Amino acid sequence: MERLKVGVLISGRGSNLQALIDAASDPAYPAEIVLVISNRADAAGLARAAAAGIPHQIIAESDRAAFALAADRALREAKIGLVALAGFMRLLDTGFVAAWQDRVVNIHPSLLPAFPGLHPQRQALAAGVRFSGCTVHFVRAEVDSGPIIAQAVVPVEDSDDENRLAARILAAEHRLYPLAVRLYAEGRLHVTGNRVTVRGGMPPDIAVTNPLEALASGRG
Ligand code: GAR
């Protein structure tokens, strides 16, 4: 089986990169991580790539177009089929986004389109939502926007602060991103306008309330 070649763009810690590396360590997983690019020399995720024996590069161009040019060249040389942004904290050049249309995905720690941009967990707590979560989507020019592939819901707890909520969302991210990349690699995603359909995708058949319905009467 020819596995999909994935290039991962990072800016920092790289825990989502690690989740993808771990998923791809199973030979039955339909994608492999063949290149990691960081826009920051101090990104901890670079060590994860090194530990896994994955070629990695730093492209520290502060100019957006120059970064895009260098990244595009490296990704094409590596014959990348899918670019996965994993904590990549820069807006991509519009020409790059157009050239790689529907071949760039991103993960974001909120239920988009709610709370794009910085500190989404803080934004969720400030808005008082009872559910947040994470989203994997195809990338468009606007920050954290584009057709949604998959989402995971994480209930907000009354005792949550930003760090606690972020940690539970991150655990969900580490499950969701490998799932979304697998669906892409299996050719099961179809984009029409702003909607993605997933061939053979089974929606959950329950709706959950927070607080749980059984507690809503005030008993117990
Ligand atoms: C993750 O929570 C990811 O969803 C978020 O940055 C974190 C990176 O962590 N990305 C964004 O906010 C994109 N707008 P990681 O480096 O450990 O994967």
Query: Is 150 strand, coil or helix?
Result: strand
Task: Supply the pLDDT for residue 207.
Answer: 87
Mean pLDDT over 99-123 rounds to 98
Distance CA 5, CA 201 (A): 23
Mean pLDDT over 57-78 rounds to 97
Percent above pLDDT 70 for the chain: 97
Is it the case that residue 14 has pLDDT exceeding 60? yes
Which region among 123-127, 160-164, 208-212 has the lowest average model confidence (pLDDT)?
208-212
Taking the CA of residue 117 as reference, the ligand 1 atom at the shortest distance is 14
Residue nearest to atom 6 of ligand 1 (CA): 87
Task: Supply the pLDDT for residue 213.
Answer: 80
Mean pLDDT of the chain: 96
Is it the case that residue 216 has pLDDT exceeding 80? no
Long-range contacts made by residues 96-100, C-beta under 8 angstroms, separation at least 24?
96/68, 96/71, 96/72, 97/139, 97/140, 97/141, 99/72, 100/72, 100/75, 100/139
Distance CA 46, CA 3 (A): 23
Taking the CA of residue 143 as reference, the ligand 1 atom at the shortest distance is 14
Task: Supply the pLDDT for residue 1.
Answer: 78
Is it the case that residue 168 has pLDDT exceeding 80? yes
- Band (32; pLDDT cuts 50, 70, 90): very high
Task: Supply the pLDDT for residue 215.
Answer: 63
Residue nearest to atom 9 of ligand 1 (CA): 87
Residue nearest to atom 4 of ligand 1 (CA): 108
Task: Supply the pLDDT for residue 219.
Answer: 57
Mean pLDDT over 139-161 rounds to 97
Q: How far is the CA of 208 from the centre of ligand 1 (A)?
A: 26
Distance CA 54, CA 84 (A): 15
Is residue 108 part of the annotated active site? The answer reads: yes
Name the pTM for this structure.
0.97
- Distances in Å between the Cα of 72 and the Cα atoms of 84, 87, 96 are 13, 18, 7
Residues flanking ligand 1, CB < 6 Å: 12-16, 45, 86-87, 107-109, 144, 170, 173
Q: Where are the alpha helices (DSSP H) in the chain?
A: 15-24, 45-51, 64-77, 94-99, 120-127, 162-185
Q: Which of 42, 118, 138, 173 to mutate to test the pocket of ligand 1 (most atoms within 8 A of CB)?
A: 173
